[in-house]
Amino acid sequence: MDHFNYQNGHLCAEDVRLSRIAAEVGTPVYVYSTATLTRHFGLFQQALEWTPHLVCYAVKANSNLAILKLMGDLGAGMDVVSGGEYARAKAAGVPGERIVFSGVGKTIAEMRMALEGGIRQFNVESEAELQALSQLADSMGAVAPIAIRVNPDVDAKTHEKIATGKSENKFGIPIAKAREVYAEAARLPGLQVVGVDMHIGSQLTDLDPYRQAYAKMADLVRALRGDGHTITRLDMGGGLGIPYRRDNNAPPLPIEYGQVIRDAVGDLGCEIEIEPGRNIVGNAGILLASVIYLKEGEGRDFLILDAAMNDLLRPAMYGAHHDIVPVNEPTLGAEVSAMDVVGPVCETGDTFQKGTQLPAMMAGDLVAFRSAGAYGAAMASEYNTRPLVPEVLVSGDQFAVIRARPSIEEILARDTIPEWL
Ligand SMILES: Cc1ncc(COP(=O)(O)O)c(C=O)c1O
Ligand SMILES: N[C@@H](CCCC[NH3+])C(=O)O
């Protein structure tokens, strides 16, 4: 359930008409619902009610400071993967003790930043990183709390570009090597082993891969304890999928996912961390766009929008589907026709959908891309020197611009022409 519904023929975000936001902020623009974000975070809290836990929102899914502040105020921790994301989490008021640092390529500067600013744990992904972190922490007279990300070699049954838990993926250390690497970690100065971490992929629509991975994790925890390690925390990763099509079978719910965790590791007495991103913010956001032109092609019609692949990359990058709906509610029985929905960018890949059934549209009409809150604005760029798409947060009948659209002058001012040119 989300909070983007038609009211009296107008598509609204909570109680704000999207047409009002378009008129005041312009399009394209991302619009998020506070109520949906709050509700989704609550579902994960509820799913882990049975255990001490921390829901660490995956900042990469949507890293706007206002969203992070909202999450942090609700009690969320944060999963960050760069110094930039770490700085965002801190700027949003989230204390270091609630921030976990993931990622295969943390630099010394990034690790230093986290050690200085406070960190709950580093999820270490290689032996080389283990050595580097140990050396750094030791030289700072600090102790870095760590979990090691273990790659369980499980097929997450998702898009190949976002599956992370197979042995051929770059993530984590092979589970067969885990005991050896934990032994090494225990010998190194500057580190304190606190837990085990896994993340097997994104947009998982089946709980079985989780079951398989977490069963391996439980066995590993028992073996590590047998080896003398103190394991008090388990980071189960993120990845629970969302429905991208309204007519589709919905993926499992957070509560069912929580039960899978409980069944697998509930008896180990560990504090549980999870890192959901998409499931919290995906269906809490839409991308609002305007029709620029209608164009008759050979055997097909094109609906040309002012949103493009640089604003919402997922269709071009993963062949992903986002429902596209008119902001003016079509009248019952209105005639529809097939259109290819495209953006203005100079690439054929700048196609959002082919043969979409839409009612008659005119230049200036508004459409909304549903389920666009996650990996939408976060992956946007200024390709074709199109200003970075702005973001708006709605709460009840009020809304605020949480990232303004840069002016062309601001964009140009970021470049410098060397004096010798
Ligand atoms: C380490 C880590 N944690 C959490 C996430 C969040 O994933 P999702 O947005 O699918 O929940 C990701 C991205 O897949 C990730 O790489
Ligand atoms: N960017 C991807 C998800 C990547 C998850 C990264 N951990 C998507 O839009 O589906």
In whole angstroms, give the CA distance from residue 351 to residue 199: 31
Q: Please tell me the distance between residue 336's alpha carbon and the centre of ligand 2 in angstroms.
A: 33
Q: Please tell me the distance between residue 239's alpha carbon and the centre of ligand 1 in angstroms.
A: 5
In this predicted structure, the answer to whether residue 27 has a pLDDT above a threshold of 80 is yes
Which domains can be identified in the chain, with CATH numbers? 4-31+282-413 (2.40.37.10), 34-281 (3.20.20.10)
* Residue 386 vs residues 158, 308, 406, 408: alpha-carbon distances, Å: 31, 9, 10, 8
Contacts of residue 187, Cβ cutoff 8 Å, sequence gap at least 6: none
Res. 75 pLDDT band, cuts 50 70 90: very high
Query: Strand (E) positions, 24-171?
Result: 29-33, 53-58, 77-80, 99-101, 121-124, 144-151
Contacts of residue 254, Cβ cutoff 8 Å, sequence gap at least 6: 40, 43, 44, 46, 47, 240, 276, 279
Atom of ligand 1 nearest to the CA of 61: 9
Angle at 242 between CA 404 and CA 358, to 5 degrees: 70
Q: Encoding tokens for residue 47?
A: 């799913």
Interval 183-200 mean pLDDT: 98
**Collapsed DSSP state (helix, strand, coil) of residue 116:** helix
> What is the per-residue pLDDT for 248?
65
Whether residue 199 has its Cβ less than 6 Å from ligand 1: yes
239 annotated to bind ligand: yes
Interval 114-134 mean pLDDT: 98
CA atoms within 13 A on the CB side of 196: 29
Query: What is the 8-class DSSP label of residue 60?
Result: G
Active-site residue flag, 346: yes
Atom of ligand 2 nearest to the CA of 374: 9
277 annotated to bind ligand: yes
Interval 41-49 mean pLDDT: 98
Q: Please tell me the distance between residue 70's alpha carbon and the centre of ligand 1 in angstroms.
A: 19
Mean pLDDT of the chain: 96
Interval 157-162 mean pLDDT: 87
In this predicted structure, the answer to whether residue 66 has a pLDDT above a threshold of 90 is yes
Catalytic residue among 12, 56, 270, 346: 346
Q: Which of 199, 206, 273 to mutate to test the pocket of ligand 1 (most atoms within 8 A of CB)?
A: 199
254, 279 in Cβ contact below 8 A? yes
> What is the per-residue pLDDT for 155?
87
Res. 238 pLDDT band, cuts 50 70 90: very high
Residue nearest (by alpha carbon) to ligand 2 atom 4 = 162
Lowest mean pLDDT among 77-91, 245-259, 341-355: 245-259
pLDDT, tens digit, 9 for 90 and up, residues 82-92: 999 999 999 99
DSSP string computed for 223-281: HHHHTT----EEE----B---SSTTSPPPPPHHHHHHHHHHHHGGG-PEEEE---HHHH
386 annotated to bind ligand: no
> What is the per-residue pLDDT for 168?
81
